[in-house]
Amino acid sequence: MAIKGKSRSRARRAVTPGPRPAFVPVKRPLLARRGFQVTALVVILAVAAAAIVYGLAKERTKQRTEALQRSMRVATTKYQVIVDGALANAGQPLPPSGFNAFPSLTTDIDGLRKGTVSAKTAAKDAKQATANAKTAEAAIGKVSPAAIFGGKGFDLAFVNYAINSQTKLANALKLYEQVGSLLQMAVEAGGVQRTTLLDRASAVLDVASTLFNDGYNDYVNLKNTAGIFTPTAIGGSGAAGAGG
């Protein structure tokens, strides 16, 4: 009887253990992360600081602008008192923003030429116009726009309105004075000489009127820029005409 030999026992396979479960932290929401919070806080503070700086700068600019505008009104009002006072007997406001200077000169030159105005009336008007023009020129001529408007930080165009208006008005008034003198001479002359003097007076009057209107326009622009201009109402009271 055959004896069964011992069979080799099968070797057990080594079981490789599985990987240990690793700890995976749960990601926090973006808004809850400290780094994000710090960054956001820095940005917010920077924006807030910039807004404050901008606001302060804007307020300072506003205050400077308002102060400058007040200074412009004060200077222009001072100038206006002198100019309006000087022109009080030089003519009448012409609505809405003009001025009719020495209207009697135009009327009398044409009237004396056509015979519709008497020599006596023309002589009286011419004498009065000459005196009024001389007085007005003396008042405006002594004004110093540089003293009133200079060194205050005003815009150059604004200051030029003052300088140009003063220069043009003063020169125009000198010409009106010459027109009055020529008209008086024409009254005393006769014939061809009177016609020649009237022609000269008329030519000078045209130049004076153009120069005066340019100067008065600069004067209106000055007041308008300063914020004190008020249009002349139609039918409103104005200065009495020269010789009127």
Residue 18 domain-assigned (yes or no) = no
Could you give the 3-state DSSP secondary structure of residue 111? helix
Residue 212 counted as domain residue: yes
- Structural domain contains residue 110: yes
CA distance 79 to 165: 11
Q: What is the pLDDT of residues 53-105, one digit of tens each?
A: 777 666 665 667 688 999 999 999 999 999 999 999 999 999 999 999 999 99
Q: Is 244 inside a domain boundary?
A: no
pLDDT tens digit string along 2-13? 555 555 555 566
Using one digit for the tens of pLDDT, what is the confidence trace for 182-220? 999 999 998 999 999 999 999 999 999 999 999 999 999
| Residue 103: inside a domain | yes
Closest by Cα among 208, 221, 211, 98 to 161: 221
Q: What's the pTM value of the predicted model, to 2 decimals?
A: 0.73
- For the purposes of burial, counting CB atoms within 10 Å of the CB of 89, is it exposed (0-12), middle (13-18) or buried (19 or more)? buried
* 28 domain-assigned: no
Within-domain flag for 163:
yes
Could you give the number of structural domains in the chain? 1
Query: By the 8 A CB rule, do 180 and 129 touch?
Result: yes
Domain contains 190: yes
In the numeric block, which tokens belong to residue 67? 């102060």
Q: Determine the residue type at 69.
A: Q
CA–CA separation, 105 and 183 (whole Å): 8
Residue 213 in contact with residue 175, Cβ under 8 Å?
Answer: no
